[in-house]
Chains A and B, each alone.
Chain A
Amino acid sequence: MKNKFLLILTGILILSVISGLYLVKAADSTWPAFNSCCEKTINDAWCQNTDEKSCDTSVDPTTKSAYRKTPTSCDATSYCKLGCCVDSDEGLCMENTPQKVCQISTGTWLDDAQCNVAQCKLGCCILGDQASFVTQTRCKKLSALYGLTTNFNNAVTDEVKCVMMAYSQDKGACVYEIENQRTCKFTTRADCESIQGSQTGENSTSVDFYKDYLCSADELATNCGPTTDTMCVSGKDEVYFKDSCGNPANIYDANKVYSKSSSYWQKVVAKSNTCGGTNPKGGNINSKTCGNCAYLEGSICGKGTATYGENICRDLNCYNTKNGNNYKNGESWCEYTGETGNGLDEVGSRQFRHVCVHGEETIEPCADFRNEVCIADKISTSSGEFREAACRVNRWQDCIDQVTEEKCLNSDKRDCYWTAGLAYDGAGTTANNASATSIGETDTTGNTGIINGTGICLPDVPPGLKFWDEGDATKICSLGNSKQTVGYETNIFGTKKCKTNCEVLETKWLEKMNGVCSSLGDCGAKNNFVGRYTDDGVLWKSNGKLLNWDGTNK
């Protein structure tokens, strides 16, 4: 045995990666800070759970007494109880409306916040050749506004069936006499019957409905004849020929003007039998000869120069968008301002959804502080791939709490990623209640916080934090603290040599720790979204002395 005096000095290297930029003092506020239900706040907001000093205490002109405030949740009060406010005039039902607000608005308040009440039951309202899935009162209102007879069917329980009902209505030529002229209106059978009903006394003449006939049909002998003019029809995508009475005829086809095809002006021709068929490839965009547009293919009737008339299938797709790509009408996609995922999102970065509608690209930011992430996918359709994107909640809060890779990567529940080789010893203390201690339990070797282990679960897209302000940034970033004990031995010459846990003295380990920190939020050393790098969020200490990134004393 070597005569070596072995002195194990327990050199405790306290290595604290105190994360978070400019974090000076811990937040002392608790949440929620709200303790009262204000009938009205000083900011004129109705029925808010807030702090008492925000309540408006002036006199309510409707009750001649002060606005009420109760030291409880608004749900527990009668005046701010949420219910359904029914607008009996318009037939609208407004959800989550406090009783008081509904009353002063002269609505009818019903005790069901989601409006599952008879007055708000939706049904199919047929309005001419269109349909609307609304309440019965709304149907009456709409019918009155458009001068139509109310046609409401409450047996129809979904919107798609309702729209199909409107399409399946009998349509044709409604022939009647006016000022001794036999004229015609292309409409539905129901509308034609209402024309008959509106004629009274000496003016009444017979009104006949000819299903599937066009007003320009020769055999009807009306004053409506074919023209070479075209029109757009409200609620329809296609360009239609127009007869001399202003009625729509069949879908515009330059080869089917009356002189070339008189039969095209007699009866209704189905879309599938017109130029381009049911799903016209490319939607006949800008075609001078065919008006069979298709909204899902990116075209709709609009102004333009055609062989006949002044309407064409207008292009609704988006070209050379911000990212240089082309998109179809209705498609949406994500924009990331920098690297995203695996904790790489930069400070101040945000995700965006872009939408292409009507040939125009609009940008919708997802929620700030990366509380929302943009997700994108493609679906296969008969006309190729269709790209869709959406902003959805970033579920990062309980990542640190997961101790197995399987649970960590369960994308149904959370948005996290797994890093092997490290562990969080305070598992069970989530970011949600991270206020208790900044570092978890000490392990047997005296290491605490982020320690070596099987793996650690971290937010895939780290949340943004108000690190410049009082807030919970300190609490969240401190989850990334790590205190490591390093064992040293000193030989007989007094030279100290690292014996255990020596890797934590290396810059590589510090970088690994920084990776954990920056995944927890806007913590640690990292770039911001304009590319500026700061390392103020990292403190590396040995026995209380600050170290540089290369391990030398500061």
Chain B
Amino acid sequence: MINKKESFLYRKAQISVFIILAILILIVLIALFVNRGGLTSIISGESPISQIEKCMQDNVKEGLGILSAQGGTLEPKNYYLYQNDKIAYLCYTEEYYRPCVMQKPLLKQSIEDELKTYLEPTMNRCLESVKSSFERKGYSFTYKKPEITVQIIPENIVVSSNVQLTVSKEKTESYQNIKTSVSSSMYGFIMTSSSISNWEARYGDSETLAYMLYYPSLKVEKKIRSDGSRIYILTDRNSLEQFKFAIRSMAFPSGVTGN
């Protein structure tokens, strides 16, 4: 049993502990207040990372827009001109009565490479633009020319770059990587395009209705041109994003030979 005196001493000890703790917390808070510049960002306004991310997101969308309209190629040479778009052939044959020959077997990888090619100079422009904006505010801004990686995954495009960026003004802040994510249906489009290309390479045609019934959110349009080329337009019914590509397979001439 604890008697009254012991209970009093016990309570007193507890109060002392609380007082000590309170003093310690107060010291920490004062220290934080005095040196707050060292713990919070030295940058006033929007951080360089979010500025670069925003700039990159716009560029990714722009690049995707070009690639989506041109069969996944920035500057197609083997293309069908359809409504002023140079639509690259994914599977092609010059001959009549023959199934097509695959031109882009690893389409996802090819589009990732093309997007990377598009983003490299634009990334530099983004960095330069942010740099000059920071330098105007009196900051020192340095970065290493970044290595970009592009990943196309379901519903997203992820762009990473090891930018090694440093912003200084009295103190220094460093950033290693910038990761930008843009919502996109490109992954699904690539998978459908690959499947259609396989059908075309084997049978010389494909059934658009099968794809639309299987994937209710996907619209597949097939436009047959007079030279036998087929323009496919894939549309995501929810986001209204599109992907266009061309195929020339099992083409028939006018008459027998077309000559």
**Residues in A whose Cβ lies below 8 Å from that of B201:** 94-96
Nearest CB of chain A from residue B95's CB, rounded to whole Å? 6
B243 interface residue (CB < 8 Å to A): no
Instruction: Determine the chain A residues whose CB is within 8 A of the CB of B216 once the complex forms.
Output: 295, 300, 358
> Is A464's beta carbon under 8 Å from chain B?
yes
* Contact indicator A465/B255 (Cβ below 8 Å): yes
A221 at the interface (CB under 8 A from B): no
A464 touches B254 (CB 8 A): yes
Q: Tell me if A449 is interfacial: C-beta within 8 Å of chain B.
A: no
Is A455 an interface residue when CB atoms closer than 8 A count as contact?
Answer: no
Q: How far is the CA of A358 from the CA of B209 in the complex (A)?
A: 11
Residue A114 is within 8 A (CB to CB) of chain B in the complex: yes
A472 close to chain B: CB less than 8 A = yes
A31 to B154, CA, bound (A): 46
Task: Give residues 86-109 of A contacting B (CB, 8 Å).
Answer: 87, 89-90, 92-98, 101-102, 105-107
Most chain B beta-carbon neighbours within 10 Å: one of A300, A371, A434, A475: A371
Taking a contact as CB atoms under 8 Å apart, the answer to whether A463 and B255 are in contact is yes
A44 contacts across to B, CB distance below 8 A: 76-78
Q: Is B13 an interface residue (CB 8 A)?
A: no
Which A residues lie within 8 Å of B202 (CB)? 95-96, 114
Check if B109 is an interface residue, CB within 8 A of chain A. yes
Give Cα A50 to B94, complex, Å: 7
Q: Are B256 and A476 in contact (CB under 8 A)?
A: yes
A78 at the interface (CB under 8 A from B): no
B257 touches A96 (CB 8 A): no
B106→A34 contact, CB < 8 A = no
Q: Which residue of A lies closest to B213 (CB)?
A: A330
Known pairs A98-B101, A105-B104, A358-B212; A521 contacts B258 (CB<8 A): no
Measured CA separation A471–B89 after assembly (Å)? 26
Interface centre among B91, B191, B202, B209 (most CB of A within 10 A): B209
Contact partners of B221 in chain A: CB under 8 A: 362, 364
- With an 8 A cutoff between CB atoms, is A49 at the interface? yes
Interface check B93, CB cutoff 8 A:
yes
Contact A29–B102 (Cβ < 8 Å): no
Tell me whether A371 and B257 are in contact (CB under 8 A): no
State A465–B257 Cα separation when bound (angstroms): 10
How many residues of chain A get a CB closer than 8 Å to chain B's CBs?
Answer: 71
Bound: A70/B167 CA distance, A: 59
Q: Are B95 and A366 neighbours in the complex by a CB distance under 8 Å?
A: no
Chain B residues, Cβ within 8 Å of A54: 94
Determine the chain B residues whose CB is within 8 A of the CB of A8 once the complex forms.
none
Q: Which residues of B contact A90 (CB under 8 A)?
A: 106, 108
User: Which residues does chain A contribute within 8 Å of B222, judged by CB atoms?
Assistant: 364
Decide if A48 is an interface residue (CB 8 Å cutoff).
Answer: yes
Tell me whether B89 and A45 are in contact (CB under 8 A): yes
Closest residue of A by beta carbon distance from B255: A472
User: A32 contacts the other chain (Cβ, under 8 Å)?
Assistant: yes
In contact, B259 and A472 (Cβ under 8 angstroms)? yes
Residues of A within 8 A of B69 (CB): none
Contact of A46 among B101, B224, B237 (CB under 8 A): B101
What CA separation (Å) do A107 and B110 show in the bound complex? Answer: 11
Given A357-B213, A362-B219, A364-B224, CB of A27 within 8 Å of CB of B259: yes
Chain A residues with CB below 8 A from B102, complex form? 85, 94-98, 101
Contact B255 A476 (CB under 8 A): yes
**B226 to chain A: which residues have CB within 8 Å?**
368-369
Q: Is A207 an interface residue (CB 8 A)?
A: no
- Closest Cβ of chain A to B203, distance in Å, is 10
If the complex has contacts A355-B209, A465-B254, A476-B255, are A97 and B105 also in contact, measured as CB distance less than 8 A? yes
Give B91-123 as 1s and 0s: 1 = Cβ < 8 Å from A's Cβ atoms: 111111001111111101110000000000000
Closest to A316 in B: B216
Measured CA separation A476–B258 after assembly (Å) = 11
Give A residues with C-beta under 8 Å from B: 27, 29-34, 41, 43-50, 54, 74, 82, 85, 87, 89-90, 92-98, 101-102, 105-107, 114, 145-146, 295, 300, 330, 332, 355, 357-358, 360, 362, 364-369, 371-372, 393, 397, 431-432, 434, 463-466, 470-473, 475-476, 521
Identify 17 new A-B residue pairs, CB closer than 8 A, beyond the known A74-B101, A365-B223. A30-B259, A31-B256, A44-B78, A46-B103, A49-B95, A82-B101, A90-B108, A92-B191, A92-B194, A105-B104, A107-B105, A364-B208, A368-B224, A368-B228, A393-B252, A397-B256, A472-B258
User: Would you give 21 A-B contacts (Cβ < 8 Å), ordered by A?
Assistant: A30-B259, A31-B258, A44-B78, A45-B89, A45-B103, A85-B102, A92-B194, A96-B102, A97-B101, A105-B105, A106-B109, A330-B209, A357-B212, A358-B237, A365-B223, A393-B252, A463-B254, A464-B254, A472-B255, A475-B255, A521-B255
